[in-house]
Amino acid sequence: MSSEDRLDPATPAPEAPLADRPASWPVHGSRDLHRDDWIVALREDVVARPGHPDDRFRRLSLEHPGAVVVLAVDDDERVLCLRQYRHTNRQDFVELPAGLRDAGDEPSVETAMRELREEAELAATSWQLLLATYASAGITEEVHEIFLARGLSEASRGDFEMHAEEAEMEVFWVPMAELLDAVLDGRVRQGPLAQAVLAYDVLKRRGGLDAT
């Protein structure tokens, strides 16, 4: 390679595959802003740039075990949706069945199966991980694992009891094409739902969905 090629911005240098990478900057102190018997807690850290110990700044970290989200699609290309009140935003959001990964080392797909059964009284014979995304990387370690569930059938939620906002939750079916339009039009804005629907649409066009 000539020196001209090396300097030409149109000639990219060899790089590792595009990916996030682990890193850890020095932490010079931490304190809990809120912590109780729940699994979610708020912590404040004093962080410094690597090699610059005097350049310190404070960052909030929301400790969170992560969550699963279920895109349940039936044989008629309808999606099982929920409408649930979220106090922080004072809105009834259109959402998908979802739940915290609060059962210790339970595999995420089993958590997804449990949430689909408890919230929608459905079971599925086919499960595929569509995406795993950070909810808001600047403030929380929460990861959303989004699953596609197909081969649906009715299933009892057993002795699970709905409470608080869940007790008022509405369950309904929406054609996939209509839900995709609602996402693209900005009428439905809940993040994991939008990610799930867009990923499904892309993978379906690319032939990347598992056969049921």
Catalytic residue list: 166
Phi, psi of 48 (to 5 degrees): -130, 150
Q: Is the dihedral of CA 87, 91, 92, 94 positive or negative?
A: negative
Number of Cβ within a 10 Å radius of residue 152: 19
Q: Distance of alpha carbon 60 from its chain centroid, rounded?
A: 20
Longest dimension (CA), the chain: 72
Outline where DSSP puts E strands in the chain.
Answer: 27-34, 41-49, 52-63, 67-72, 78-86, 91-95, 98-100, 122-134, 143-154, 170-175
3-class SS of residue 155: coil
Calculate helix-pair angle for 176-184, 191-206, nearest 10 degrees: 120
